[in-house]
Amino acid sequence: MKRVELLCDGCVRPITSVPFYKCSQQHCDFFLHEWCTRLPFEIKDHHNHPQHTLVLMPKILRSLFGLFWCNICLLPCNGFAYGCMQCEYYVDINCGFIPDVITHEAHPNHLLLRFKASSVRKACKACMFTISHVGFHCPSCDFYLHTECALLLPRTIRHRFDKHALRTIIVNTFVRFVRMNLTRDGGSIIAARVPPLCTLLVHL
C-alpha cells in the first residue's frame, strides 16, 4: 500500500495525529493542524521585530508560490507567515513563537536562553557553523545552538548507508546521529556496541 503523507499548509509539517482539518471542496488538498487553525491574527512586540506588529499572512504577496525566507531560521518556507510588509520582514509560524527559555538534552543541567547574535558571534555546538541571527545559549557555559538546531533537529533519522535508524546522542558535547544502545557513565552519554556490530557515526 502506498503511504500518503499529509502536510499542513500552515506550518508545512507532517500531520501525524487527529484531529486535523481539510478543505470541504472535494478536489482541494488544503490541510491544517488543529493548532494552526488557532493562530492569533497578529503578534505584538515580537522579540526580533518589536517596532511593528507582525500580521498573520496565509501567503506572502509578490513572491513566487508564496515562497519566502524566514528572517530567523533562514530556511525557505511556503506556508503561513507572520510579517511586516513595511519592512518586508517575515518569519514562519514556528519562529513566530520561539520561547525565551528552553531545556535541551545536549545541555541538560542548565537552561538555555534565547539571544540575538548581532552582539555575539559564536559557533553552534551541533553543526559548528557560526550563529548569525537568533539562537540559544547557556550564560554560565560556552554553549550555543542555532534556533533550528535546538528546535527542529529530529530525534531519529534514516540514512541510505545504514538500514537501522540513527538516534541523536551527545558525544563530547557535540550532537551526532548514531545507531547504538546508550548507557550513562558519570553523567555523560557513551555508546555500547550491540550485535550486529553497527557503529555508524555521521556528522549532521
- pLDDT score, position 42: 94
What letter would DSSP give residue 49? B
Cell of 74: 533562514
pLDDT of residue 39: 93
User: pLDDT tens digits, the chain, 204 residues: what are they?
Assistant: 345 578 899 998 888 888 899 998 888 889 999 999 999 999 998 888 999 999 999 888 777 777 899 988 888 899 999 999 899 999 999 889 888 999 988 888 899 999 887 766 788 888 888 888 888 999 898 889 888 888 877 777 777 777 777 776 666 555 554 444 444 433 333 333 333 445 444 444
State residue 182's pLDDT score.
Answer: 42
Q: Which helix (H) or strand (E) holds 150?
A: helix 147-151
CA distance 102 to 110: 9
Query: What's the pLDDT at 147?
Result: 86
- The H or E element spanning position 149 is helix 147-151
Q: Residue 90 pairs with which residues in a beta bridge?
A: 83
Nine cell digits for residue 99: 520561547
Q: Cell digits for 165?
A: 535508524
Query: What is the Cα–Cα distance from 26 to 15, expressed in whole angstroms?
Result: 19
Torsion-angle region of 187 (φ positive above 0: left; ψ -120 to 50: alpha; else: beta): left
